[in-house]
Structure 1
Amino acid sequence: MTERRVAIFTDETGWHTRRLRQALARRGFEGRCVDLAACRFDTAASPHGVLIPGFGKALPCAAIVRGIAGGSLEQITKRLGILHALRELGVPVYNDARAIERSVDKAMTSFLLHRAGVATPPAWAVEDEAQARRILVREAAAGHGLVVKPMFGSQGKGVLRVGAVDGGFVALPPLGELAGLAYLQRFVPQAESPQAPGFDWRVLVIGGQARAAMKRVSAHWVRNVARGARCQACALEPGLAALAEAAAAALGMDYAGVDLVPDAAAASGAQVIEVNGVAAWRGLQRVTAFDIAQALVDDLLARRLGVGLDQGVAQVCHF
């Protein structure tokens, strides 16, 4: 059966999903929003064993992952399992489960970036509290602060600085308060003042190519837009673009929001601190001329489905 329906997996609809549906419609496709929590494995009800609400017993042409709701380990495993199953069934998933798993696991992100030779701060993930405290003391003795982050976290929630902080020493909280695991990343300091607050960069990589960048400016060291950082347009310098593209490639991303901090000591003048596989782009769109949702959809259709912009779409999906 031939279809032109794309699943947009999300746990909430709004600005992002509306923009994606509009972008798909301009190319002759229909985007249908589906919560992964509502999808199920059912080997009795369908020939391929997966049921996606709104698609009957058929499969979507492709899927865009816009959000995955939190839940128990079992629930998250099943939701990611649906994405893995679609890939096994030949449905392009953008980004697929493997890429999402790599990016949401900050320790794995650090490992893969380091392995690929991408500039990124030293990082540790340990379950032994005494070992974590030894790392903290050793780093503080060398004048370094550390950032404690939830292993699975976003939007700057739950992060704190420990070790050498503003001329003092901040101890590590008990691991019982950190879900039994310390993920530590060396803090990269900046020279800043009330007149010149610090910033980091968000670079959007689509299909292996850096397409847009912005500065996130804030007097607070946590510079997520969700925490009040101000979005500021900036040039996409070649070194910054190359670093972001290398980070996305290291994690196998179709698209990625790459967060970088300035570091004069680094070869490219920056280090990658996070790679987001389900990146929001509303803030970036405010300071960027091109239509980000359309760029994402066009990359999906061209690179993953082989559909050119001047090509008919009637015979591209066969499930």
Structure 2
Amino acid sequence: MRPRLIALVSGFGWHVEDLQRASRLVDVQLDALPFPSVVGRVRSGHARIEAGGIDLTHADGILVRMMPPGTLEQVVFRMDALHRLGALGVPVLNPARAVEVAVDKYLALAQLEAAGLPVPETWTGESAEEALAAFDELGRDVVIKPIFGSEGRGLLRVSDRELARRAFSTLERLGSVLYVQKMVRHPGYDLRVFVLGGRVLGVIRRHAPEGDWRTNIAVGGRAEAFSLERDIEELALQAATAVGAPLAGVDLLPDLDRGGLVVVEVNAVPGWRALAQATGVDVASEILTYLKGCKR
């Protein structure tokens, strides 16, 4: 009987289609189910997690493909469901704790720093006044980021003090956490390293579009295959381990001022379209093969 794997998704675009293609190659049954369809059932002596009418507690593996936006209650419940599935012995990729850490930029950065890895200097808090003081301390060239967010969206580079003051005041009024990071002077590209199960599947160099400083593919960055070097491999694997993510997209940035690479982020639900196209690696098949081999 073929192993039954479940992908929890927020939509049915290219990545889901690629996983379905790969499922036929690696001989698994794959069901893609919307994350909001997850249901928890509890009664004395019995706990069950379902999605789309399917009992996930009997699945051979769960792939967290994407965590869709939602209210605090919705996101917390989804994480609760992942924790419960893990506690019941169902292999979950990535584990709930890794998703929680990676989605929170401050927590992820703190764990990377605690592991002794190089990270950009960052200030996080809720006070606009204190954020402005941090802006001065960080050299008056910073990137303001949403503490939850991905794909380069919502980023604002600020090097003008009055603009910084206005941005911080607006965010404070909105009840946002202020995440202020010293701008890393880089050569116009970063490296995305795709890690799976303690090895690197591939590396791409992402070039920022002309006139922009962001390298993310989602905002127009250009990807090309990049040779794996020992220092890149070691740093990426250490970063993935620091956040507890067997599956990770690790973003490394060459720091022209300090020299070497800094770890900017670790994505626990990484996309792979650009990497697969640039390197020829069948990432979807690798992911399903790895999950298929995980034991309850």
**TM-score with structure 2 length normalisation?**
0.91
Identity over aligned pairs, percent: 33
Change in Cα spacing, 1:210 to 1:178, as seen in structure 2 (3 Å) is farther
CA distance in 1, matches of 2:59, 2:275: 29
Change in Cα spacing, 1:190 to 1:18, as seen in structure 2 (3 Å) is same
Change in Cα spacing, 1:56 to 1:300, as seen in structure 2 (3 Å) is closer
CA distance in 1, matches of 2:97, 2:83: 8
* 1:188 matched to 2:178: no
TM-superposed deviation, 1:170? 4.3
Correspondence 1:122-271 to 2 at 5 A: 122-140=121-139, 145-162=141-158, 164=159, 170-172=163-165, 173=167, 174=169, 175-176=171-172, 179-191=175-187, 198-218=188-208, 219=210, 220-266=212-258, 269-271=260-262
CA distance in 2, matches of 1:23, 1:228: 27
CA distance in 1, matches of 2:283, 2:67: 21
3-state DSSP class of the match of 1:256? strand
TM-superposed deviation, 1:24? 2.9
Contact 1:119-1:266 at 8 Å conserved across structures: no
CA distance in 2, matches of 1:169, 1:119: 30
Change in Cα spacing, 1:82 to 1:110, as seen in structure 2 (3 Å) is same
Contact 1:6-1:29 at 8 Å conserved across structures: yes
1:312 corresponding residue in structure 2: none
CA distance in 1, matches of 2:283, 2:115: 27
Contact 1:260-1:271 at 8 Å conserved across structures: yes
Larger helix fraction of residues: 2
CA distance in 2, matches of 1:57, 1:204: 27
1:311 corresponding residue in structure 2: none
3-state DSSP class of the match of 1:119? coil
Aligned residues: 291
Change in Cα spacing, 1:110 to 1:88, as seen in structure 2 (3 Å) is same
TM-superposed deviation, 1:187? 0.9
Contact 2:3-2:292 at 8 Å conserved across structures: no
2:102 corresponding residue in structure 1: 103
Aligned residue type for 1:284 = L
3-state DSSP class of the match of 1:213? strand
Give unmatched runs, 5+ long, in structure 2: none
Change in Cα spacing, 1:57 to 1:225, as seen in structure 2 (3 Å) is closer
**TM-score with structure 1 length normalisation?**
0.85
Aligned residue type for 2:72 = L
CA distance in 1, matches of 2:45, 2:24: 28
Greater CA radius of gyration, 1 or 2? 1
1:80 corresponding residue in structure 2: 79
TM-superposed deviation, 1:121? 0.6
